[in-house]
Amino acid sequence: MSNATAPPAAPTPPASRSIPWSDLRLVGRQVRYEQLAFWLNPIGAIFTLGFSVVFLVLLGASAGSSRVSFLGHIKLIQYYVPGFVAYGIMAACFNVLAITLVNRREMGLLKRLRLSPLPTWALLAAIFISTLILAFIQVVVLLAIGVWGFGVHLPADFAPFVVAVVIGALSFTALGVAMSTLIPNQDAAGPVTSIVFFVLLFLSGLWFPLQSGSGLAQFSSWFPVRHFITAVFTPFDVRPGVSPWAWHDLAVVALWGVIGCIVAVRRFRWTPRRV
């Protein structure tokens, strides 16, 4: 008998890294559950989606035929509609998302869900997609109110508007996750997030247009809120010769989004912070 050993088996080729179709179906099902959980809380849904609508209607009705002199005498409502579109996106992707993640983390829901058969990436993707759906609903509702309720002129070119909405939604989603990592407990989630959010809104020209070069405009330009409001408004600017692309503002918003991603990846926790 020969003592020769058999040649070693050929190495098994690495498994494909493509995402299986079954995992994508899991994401779709989890998005459905996220939406059901949101809409089965009608009070929370009304306040989340209705806040921007109520304020737009009140401010639009009070503005009447008022015009903004330093913006070429455009109607004030022409400024308010894109402003509140930006607000709706920021409220869903930053404010609501940050509070939701903190509450789930401190209640142990994130930890339990992570131990379930659902892949971690699918769980996070479902949460983010559900948040983006809520933001998209607000965009559609606010545009419909602006056009049919107040006669607002839509952008002649929708591409700059869509790009601004997409960059803003993704960036403020990253900032919302980053904000959740800085909040120590469930009781502080609402107050801390709301104070930061609404102070920046007040300083960034949501309630009243800020003249470029003013002290308040220069101060608020350090933060992404004003840049996002400006980026969404620019396609609605009906003044002749004004470019619908706010490249500088979009770049600043995207930069803040990158910073948010870095903070979120480095600090994100699945387990409660309480001892």
Segments making up each domain of the chain, as ranges = 24-267
129 exposure class (CB count in 10 Å sphere: 0-12, 13-18, 19+): middle
Amino acid at 136: F
| Per-residue pLDDT tens digits for 213-243 | 788 888 888 999 999 999 999 999 888 888 8
Q: What's the whole-number mean pLDDT along residues 58-82? A: 85
| Per-residue pLDDT tens digits for 129-160 | 999 999 999 999 999 999 998 989 898 889 99
N-term to C-term CA, the chain: 68
For position 64, what pLDDT does the model report? 74
Both structure tokens of 74: 């455009």
Spatial distance between the Cα atoms of 57 and 145, rounded to a whole number of angstroms: 8
Give the start-end residues of each E strand in the chain: 67-68, 74-75
Tokens 């948010």 sit on residue: 260
Flag whether pLDDT at 22 surpasses 80. no
Amino acid at 183: I
Neighbouring C-beta atoms of residue 46, cutoff 10 Å: 12
Which comes out higher in pLDDT, residue 170 or 112? 170
Spatial distance between the Cα atoms of 110 and 101, rounded to a whole number of angstroms: 8
Q: Is the dihedral of CA 49, 50, 52, 53 positive or negative?
A: positive
Percent of the chain residues topping a pLDDT of 90: 43
In eight-state DSSP terms, residue 91 is I
**Contact residues for 48 (Cβ-Cβ < 8 A; gap 6+):** 38, 91, 92, 96, 134
The H or E element that residue 38 is part of is: helix 21-39
For position 10, what pLDDT does the model report? 47
For position 72, what pLDDT does the model report? 79
For position 88, what pLDDT does the model report? 93
Q: What's the whole-number mean pLDDT along residues 89-109? A: 91
Spatial distance between the Cα atoms of 57 and 44, rounded to a whole number of angstroms: 20
